[in-house]
Amino acid sequence: MVDFNKPCIVGKEYEYIADSIREAHISGDGKYSKLCHSLLEKELGVKRVLTTPSCSHALEMTALLLDIKPGDEVIIPDFTFVSTVNAFVLRGATPVFIDIRPDTLNMDETRLEELITEKTRAIVPVHYAGIACEMDTIMSIANRHGIPVVEDNAHGLFGKYKNRWLGTIGCMATQSFHETKNFTCGEGGAILINDPALIEKAEIIREKGTNRSRFFRGQVDKYTWVSVGSSYLLSDILAGFLYAQLEVWQEIQAKRKWIWQTYHSELAAWAKSKGVVTPSVPEGIDPSWHIYYLLLPDLEQRQAMITHLKDAGVNSVFHYLPLHLSEKGREYGGKPGDMPVTESVSDRLVRLPLYYDMGELEMEQVLNAVTSF
């Protein structure tokens, strides 16, 4: 069987884990955490990067940083992972779901302004599959209303929007290093802070609500509880694993790009003949090559494709169910038909295997399996 995903080992993971243990600093913010922070700050030009135990935790930090309170509204795409919405619901916010564009499967920016009310406290675009949202429009609407934008960039690390790195456009962004993502340490994440006014507050929230970071910098002579917070640090053992991948990020991305582009060119004619839609990348956008998907004409054909691929030894998977129709999402009044694009895409989408260790034989098996459908 060709797996849908395999976490990759690219080289120095074991060496750095062993070194982190020898350094005798295996809790957060040790040698490898700092290396991850500075690598991402330098490569992306972000003011402050802090590793977290997951992207879900990083999203929770953004909700705390924005002082999200009961009754606040947060605009979130209907087609995303539950963590995007949970982070804000945990603070008592009401999610306001927005439908997606049929081409990029990202937040439909033409519907954004009509959803803004005097209670809107954040807009959370998700760069689905690592293809950027229409950020110029989203930022100009957000800025006009004075609403902060948090990029859920779980898919998009090292993708670009008009020559700007994804994750550097909103006031904050979040990354995932879960084993299903391009770069991994099993479970892990990061918060990217672009607004300097949020940096110190982020350090405090992440260190259990204490000013420990200032203490370590010698700015105060003892550290104490200064505000609400939690423990949002990544163990340095995991940071060692992650650093081994981040230091060769170009190599990982180049391989994924090759697989993605091979699928795209090899499947173009077949897709056209079958009425299957493949990903579209608007002008000026560089994807992060996170997901390669197909949109089948309907649910029946999508299910048939998954079964057909399985019979040919290929594991493929569908993706998000519409949040507004989920058991929890219905509490906010969601009904079938409210989000027609998400509802349709959710029924029709299938993701093909895409991971760093994929060889030519496996790719050929996938391509033969798909085109014999």
From the list 31, 119, 162, 181, the catalytic residue is: 181
- Kindly state whether residue 339 participates in binding ligand PLP, applying the rule CB under 6 A: no
DSSP 157-207: TT-EETTEETTSSSSEEEEE-STTSSS-SSS-EEEEE--GGGHHHHHHHHB
Closest contact distance (angstroms) between CB of 221 and ligand PLP is 36
Nearer to ligand PLP, 85 or 370 (CB): 85
Nearer to ligand PLP, 122 or 126 (CB): 126
> Per the structure block, which two tokens stand in for 371?
């085109």
Distance in angstroms (rounded) separating the CA atoms of residues 60 and 370:
39
- Kindly state whether residue 55 participates in binding ligand PLP, applying the rule CB under 6 A: yes
Nearer to ligand PLP, 210 or 292 (CB): 292
Number of chain residues interacting with ligand PLP (CB under 6 A):
14
Closest contact distance (angstroms) between CB of 358 and ligand PLP is 20
Closest contact distance (angstroms) between CB of 189 and ligand PLP is 5
Tell me if residue 268 falls in helix, strand or coil.
helix
Residues in Cβ contact with 262 at an 8 Å cutoff, skipping those fewer than 6 apart? 363, 367
Measured in whole angstroms, the distance separating CA 311 from the mean position of its chain's CA atoms is 31
- Kindly state whether residue 83 participates in binding ligand PLP, applying the rule CB under 6 A: yes
Closest contact distance (angstroms) between CB of 274 and ligand PLP is 28
> Per the structure block, which two tokens stand in for 255?
């391989």
Tell me if residue 137 falls in helix, strand or coil.
helix
Closest contact distance (angstroms) between CB of 301 and ligand PLP is 25
Distance in angstroms (rounded) separating the CA atoms of residues 328 and 76:
15
> Per the structure block, which two tokens stand in for 235?
């163990």
Nearer to ligand PLP, 87 or 363 (CB): 87
Span interacting with ligand PLP, options 40-48, 76-84, 321-329, 354-362, rule CB under 6 A: 76-84
- Kindly state whether residue 81 participates in binding ligand PLP, applying the rule CB under 6 A: yes
* Cβ atoms 151, 312 nearer than 8 A: no
- Kindly state whether residue 54 participates in binding ligand PLP, applying the rule CB under 6 A: yes
Nearer to ligand PLP, 49 or 126 (CB): 126
- Kindly state whether residue 189 participates in binding ligand PLP, applying the rule CB under 6 A: yes
Distance in angstroms (rounded) separating the CA atoms of residues 97 and 325:
11
Single out the residue of 85, 126, 129, 132 in contact with ligand PLP (rule: CB under 6 A).
Answer: 126
Closest contact distance (angstroms) between CB of 191 and ligand PLP is 12
Single out the residue of 20, 51, 62, 84 in contact with ligand PLP (rule: CB under 6 A).
Answer: 84
Residues in Cβ contact with 20 at an 8 Å cutoff, skipping those fewer than 6 apart? 26, 30, 31, 32, 236, 237, 239, 240
> Per the structure block, which two tokens stand in for 66?
């924005």
DSSP 46-107: -SEEEEES-HHHHHHHHHHHTT--TT-EEEEESSS-HHHHHHHHTTTPEEEEE-B-TTT-SB
Question: 136-175: which residues touch ligand PLP (CB under 6 A)?
Answer: 152, 154-155
Told to judge if 47 belongs to the known catalytic residues of this protein, a careful annotator would answer no
- Kindly state whether residue 72 participates in binding ligand PLP, applying the rule CB under 6 A: no
Active site residues: 181
Residues within the interface to ligand PLP (CB under 6 A) = 54-56, 80-81, 83-84, 126, 152, 154-155, 176, 178, 189
